[in-house]
Amino acid sequence: MAKETPKEKAKDQPKVNKEQFKAQKKEQHQAKLQLTEIPKGPVAPLPKGYKVRVSEAYLKTVRPALMKDFNLSSPMAAPKLVKVVINIGVSEAKENIQALDLAKEDLMLISGQNPQVRRAKKSISNFKLREGMPIGVRVTLRGIRMFEFFDRFVSISVPRVRDFQGIDPRFFDGRGNLNIGLKEHHIFPEINMEKSPKARGMNITFVTTAGDDKKGKALLEYMGMPFKKPEVKKPAAK
């Protein structure tokens, strides 16, 4: 029997309309987007139309108050929170890689976002460190997740800090950005003490557009950050 040519095979197949072909391609593209948008692991996607009360409060009360305090004519000139960067150092990761996986899972639960593994930029023989070794995890939060983390941090996590007396205003870097160092990540209620018994230190940076510490402190204080109040010196008894 003679073999069929590609042209004869194409004639035998049913013709597909151009509009149907475009519709099929569009459905396949949307299915791929849905697969990529859904994060892996224990992180659940945020529902549509979800609004955080801190972001709503910033637009309604915080920004007008900042404009009044600093005599700003435009709302765009008011300082705002840009991003939150969370770092956890895992020094034992060079000997036990499972510790890095555990820290990554903890940070994912805290932030609601898949963290990035940070590696050593250069080798240091005294610390038995080689270039490219994993030494920590980092996550950068923006938008809704940033405000949602800020709300949970201020209202739930900070009151769980042992002997908490307020955040020191000296933690500002001179440009309106606040750097907070925590000794224990167990203050976050998302952490399971049975799975992660070892307390890990972490650094949280709140990046703002303030430009100076005075505006940055006013912004975060209006948003609910509990700063340490200056001590009032009592007059000496005669």
Residue 219: the pLDDT is 93
pTM beyond cutoff 0.75? no
Higher per-residue confidence, 68 vs 18: 68
Higher per-residue confidence, 92 vs 137: 137
Q: How confident is the model at residue 216 (pLDDT cuts 50, 70, 90)?
A: very high
| pLDDT, tens only, 95-124 | 777 888 888 888 998 988 888 888 877 777
Domain ranges (residues) in the chain: 53-223
| pLDDT, tens only, 29-77 | 555 544 334 344 445 566 777 778 888 899 999 999 999 999 988 889 9
Residue 7: the pLDDT is 55
CB atoms within 10 A of CB 229: 9
CB atoms within 10 A of CB 112: 21
For the segment 211-220, the average pLDDT, to the nearest whole number, is: 91
Higher per-residue confidence, 6 vs 136: 136
Determine the CATH number of domain 53-223: 3.30.1440.10
- DSSP symbols for the chain: -PPPPHHHHHHHSPPPPHHHHHHHHHHHHHHHHHHHHS-STTPPPPPTT---HHHHHIIIIIHHHHHHHTT-SSGGGS--EEEEEEEEE-GGGGT-HHHHHHHHHHHHHHHSS--EEEE-SS-BGGGTB-TT-EEEEEEEE-HHHHHHHHHHIIIIIGGGSTT---B-GGGB-SSS-EEEEES-GGGSTTS-TTT--S---EEEEEEES-SSHHHHHHHHHHHT--BPPPPPPPPPP-
